[in-house]
Amino acid sequence: MSSTVVESDKPAPAAEPPIQSFLVTFNIRRFDPEVDEEPRWVDYDVELYPTERVLDALHKIKWEQDGSLTFRRSCAHGVCGSDAMRINGRNRLACKTLIKDLDISKPIYIEALKGLPLEKDLVVDMEPFMDSYRAIQPFLISHSAAEPGKERYQSAEDRARYDDTTKCILCAACTSSCPVFWTDGQYFGPAAIVNAHRFIFDSRDDAADVRLDILNDKEGVWRCRTTFNCTEACPRGIQVTRAIAEVKQAVLRGGR
């Protein structure tokens, strides 16, 4: 039995050109407290593809060039917030910053977050930041017992009131971008206020007045100078400055 071959007039699709890699220079501010009196800048050249991330570059440097390079990272997907650092002078997550979004014709400068004690290389002491977070009591406080086996129901409208501030991942990018925080380590900082906002405006919570009283302090919301650095730095897109303004208004009203 013969078979018929049908030839198509369509040309075969052209093969896509391979993605080109580039040699990228990273200038990293290094500091080893055991040998360094002051931080120092060290250059590294790394072969990278445009779709790779700054975190990938740091991995290559640590695994292939200098195993002493120290930085934090965990999930590598923008959820844990542990790899926040300054990249070309801006607070960003290394795992969310793509090489193609940076100007690789110049060295890429990487350093630790400002305003927090430097421990080693890109690692800072997060305890002052976490102290402020814990101080605003970031948990639901209700004086009425929930019915056994029942959830504390909330309308979609009430939930939407504080939806934005539930997105915080405690990366400290907003707080460490704040000029007030740089000069006044006692300031609660944007992240603590954002997390207070999340519970102040939660209709199920009964401790809004307590948190507002905590933040109605010389180191509380009134230290904010509305520079919007915090909003620009947030990797989750939280409207941080707006949340701080809403807490200020709640303080002036005497409640939510």
Question: Over the stretch 166-181, which tens digit does the pLDDT of each residue have?
Answer: 999 999 999 999 999 9
Domain harbouring 74, CATH code: 3.10.20.30
In a domain, 68, yes or no: yes
108 to 24, 25, 74, 118, 170: CA distances (angstroms): 8, 6, 22, 20, 25
Residue 19: pLDDT band (50, 70, 90) is confident
Residues 53 and 80 in one domain: yes
In a domain, 16, yes or no: no
pLDDT score for 132: 96
Is residue 2 predicted with pLDDT exceeding 70?
no
In a domain, 148, yes or no: no
Strands 22-30 and 108-111 turn out to be parallel
Task: Write the pLDDT tens digit of every residue in 69-101.
Answer: 999 999 999 999 999 999 999 999 999 999 999
Q: What span, in angstroms and rounded, lies between the C-alpha atoms of 128 and 177? A: 15
Residues 209 and 135 in one domain: yes
Is residue 150 predicted with pLDDT exceeding 70?
yes
Domain harbouring 245, CATH code: 1.10.1060.10
Residues 70 and 177 in one domain: no
Mean pLDDT of the chain: 93
Looking at beta carbons, which pairs linking 73-81 to residues 24 or more positions away fall under 8 Å?
78/169, 78/235, 79/169, 80/169, 81/169, 81/170, 81/171, 81/172, 81/173, 81/235
**DSSP letter assigned to residue 115:** S
Domain count, the chain: 2
In a domain, 176, yes or no: yes
Structure tokens at 15: 């093969």
Residue 99 lies in domain: 22-124
Residues 105 and 55 in one domain: yes
Mean pLDDT of 53-79: 97
In a domain, 150, yes or no: no
Task: Write the pLDDT tens digit of every residue in 209-252.
Answer: 999 999 999 999 999 999 999 999 999 999 999 999 999 999 99
Amino acid at site 171: C
